Structure 1
Amino acid sequence: MAHEHNDHCGHEAHDHDHDHDAPGNLGPSDTLYPYIDFENVVALNAETEGRVAIKPWHERQSEEKFIESDADDQLILRVPFTGSVKLRAILLKTGPGEQTPDKVCIFANEDNLDFSDVSERKPIQEFDVPESRDVGEYAVKPAKFSNVTSVTLFFPGSLGGDTTRLYYVGFLGHWTERKTNPVITVYESQANLADHEKIQGMDGSFSAPQM
């Protein structure tokens, strides 16, 4: 499986203010921190709750609290959102040293992944994680993460340590309120056979508009 290199990994470990940062110390204007469903964040094979590493922007460099794997160096972190998200990037501060994960595999809307099946699933995207004490920004392919209700991060191993450690996990993107079956609602409320016949040009047969 090919890793994401070049534009995504080599120069992404950094810690500086972006042009899209909001005024003051709120962080990037498109941070998804306010829209995380903290009560349902799950960390598998972790010594502490997963949400301890999902911090406000001004705490991104803090190393006081962190997630660390337990039995070995594998770690799964599942983060649900309170609405639908178009994900733009994932932010990670990891380490130190050999406790840095060697890579991160990213899944969307997989709410039941565990270690028994995660290795059999192909992630939507994955990145090598450089050894650094700074916050790295990993830009995902927006088209692949355009309707996300949860993100699962799988860290399959460390750079040689017995455990893997995460100090900070953040998300950038656009949040919208979750709607319930919007397409079905529209068609049920507006279905008119005569109208559809005129639009579709069908000879008396009904055909739903092609999406």
Structure 2
Amino acid sequence: MAPHGKCCGDTNHQHEDPERGIQYGLYTKINLNDLECLNETVEGSGKTVFKPWEERLNRTNFVESDADEELLFNIPFVGNVKLKGIVVIGDSSDSHPSRMRLFKNRESMTFDDVSIAADQEFELQKDTEGLIEYATKIVTFNNVNYLSLHFPRNFGAPNTTIYYIGLKGEFSEAHRHGVTICNYELRPNMSDHKNPLDDNVNQPLA
């Protein structure tokens, strides 16, 4: 009998730490309608890897690269994010990504844009359970409203497979500036625009 009385029977099952789930809750702050994943085999599949921490071991939904091993995610947030860490779950095979490059606040990147220097890069290890966290440079990723993740290669397979991407950090609402309403004068008051040359004029022209 399982010590907690309720278990899934999976030898890889881990009893969840509620605090960990809260820490990796930034997936709820992603604007999924505008999220892009370039070079995905199935359209829209890249969005499915951003899910609750408790579902990270679910292999039902995943994204697989198409033409080659590269994947590029363009992730817009609905506010400002302080990104502290990332978890990437892949397959135990060579399709697991082996490198990850992060770009901050560069909207709608393409593969033509990734030749520029990344804001941070990681050499990845194979992780099938979400045990490895890659800590970001908080000073750099302190005010993020758009994040791009580039996976340029894997461990040698023709295509890359990712089951879960966890984003750890803090969220704050975007500052919304009110619309400034300006009342413009249709007929200027000449006394407000006095010309020194008109000092001897008693009355302005109508």
Q: TM-score, normalised by structure 2?
A: 0.73
Q: Which residue number in structure 2 is paired with residue 145 of structure 1?
A: 141
Q: Which residue number in structure 2 is paired with residue 32 of structure 1?
A: 26
- Report the Cα offset of residue 52 of structure 1: 1.0
- Deviations 1:27-55, CA, capped at 9 Å, x for gaps: 13462122111111100000132111111
Say if 2:158 is the partner of 1:159: no
Paired residue for 1:127, among 114, 118, 122? Answer: 122
CA separation in 2, counterparts of 1:112 and 1:99? Answer: 25
CA separation in 1, counterparts of 2:15 and 2:155? Answer: 25
CA separation in 2, counterparts of 1:51 and 1:126? Answer: 22
Q: Which residue number in structure 2 is paired with residue 208 of structure 1?
A: none
Matched residues, percent identical? 34
Say if 2:108 is the partner of 1:108: no
The 8 Å contact of residues 68 and 163 in structure 1, kept in 2 or not, is answered as yes
CA separation in 2, counterparts of 1:30 and 1:76? Answer: 21
- Report the Cα offset of residue 17 of structure 1: 5.4
CA 1:147 to 1:54, structure 2 compared with 1: closer, same or farther past 3 Å?
same
Q: TM-score, normalised by structure 1?
A: 0.72
CA 1:177 to 1:156, structure 2 compared with 1: closer, same or farther past 3 Å?
same
- Report the Cα offset of residue 175 of structure 1: 0.6
| Ranges in structure 2 where 5+ consecutive residues have no aligned partner | 1-13, 181-206
CA 1:100 to 1:39, structure 2 compared with 1: closer, same or farther past 3 Å?
same
Amino acid at match of 2:94: E
- Deviations 1:51-98, CA, capped at 9 Å, x for gaps: 111111111111111010000001101111110111111121012311
- Aligned-residue Cα RMSD (Å) equals 2.0
Paired residue for 1:79, among 75, 80, 91? Answer: 75
| Ranges in structure 1 where 5+ consecutive residues have no aligned partner | 1-14, 186-211
